[in-house]
Amino acid sequence: MATFSSLSTAISLSNIPKMVPPRRDAILNVHPSSSQFCPRFELNMNRSLFTLFTSCRKPQLRCKPRQRSSVQCLFTGIVEEIGHVKQVGIAEHGGFDLKITAKTVLEGVNLGDSISVNGTCLTVTAFDHQLSEFKVGLAPETLRKTSLVELTAGSPVNLERAVQPISRMGGHFVQGHVDGTGEIISMDPEEDSLWIKVRTSEALLKYIVPKGFIAVDGTSLTVVDVFDEEKAFNFMLVAYTQKNVVIPLKKVGQLVNLEVDILGKYVQRLLSNGAIKPIESP
């Protein structure tokens, strides 16, 4: 599987300028053969989203804002299947498109449905049952904040449909709103289990506690230990989990999406604004 070791050392996505709408004169002067046009979705199958995001100029098209759905997505962190990226590329609206092959998550799918892709809540914009594939759109900000920027054609991804009122809550409340990324710094087997240690920022580490929940690439996991000096935490994957999620397929140095427990963020918010008083020791 393709690695992207230079991402965390040589290039910072936070320094990538935000994409701005084109000027009116630029729109009027566009011609399909113009060099200003980026490749369409069907092209550049072997290029990563990072390459497209950093090196390709935005197509000079008038962008139509997408309507926001009133339905909020919620997941459990129990991965339903591992899909594979089929194509990545530039969308007509100026964002980025991701086409994924899958089977289970296509059952009962409708346009506008939410599917978690490596823990990122994304909206289905097209699907084909005969080809067993669906397409989602990606905003530039999503690529800045998540590990999806590392994806290339063939990359495996965790997939989970949004829960329904009758769904069993097998993991914990996962919103699909990635808080940030972490870097895998060690992967150590112990008999048929696998220990994985992930380094992240202090801003996220303060919400991570031993025996607490965390979503790693959309997988609901239990934190074993927190290492404040290393700015890291670890968790263990049992044999069954290793066969059904993408984390063991990654290598040291690669990124994973992290979403901390929403309850911890609510508590920190209430304490910081004085809504509740901290418990004082006797």
Q: Are 159 and 127 in contact (CB under 8 A)?
A: no
The CA-to-CA distance between both ends of the chain, in Å, stands at 55
- Report the candidate in 158, 159, 259, 161 with the shortest Cα–Cα distance to residue 215: 259
Task: Quote the tokens at residue 256.
Answer: 């994973």
Q: Are 178 and 120 in contact (CB under 8 A)?
A: yes
At residue 87, the 3 state secondary structure works out as strand
**Helix, strand, coil shares, percent, the chain, to 5:** 20, 30, 50
Q: Is the dihedral of CA 66, 70, 76, 81 positive or negative?
A: negative
- Tell me the catalytic residues: 75, 114, 121, 123, 139, 177, 222
Task: Quote the tokens at residue 136.
Answer: 């989602």
Task: Quote the tokens at residue 218.
Answer: 């959309």
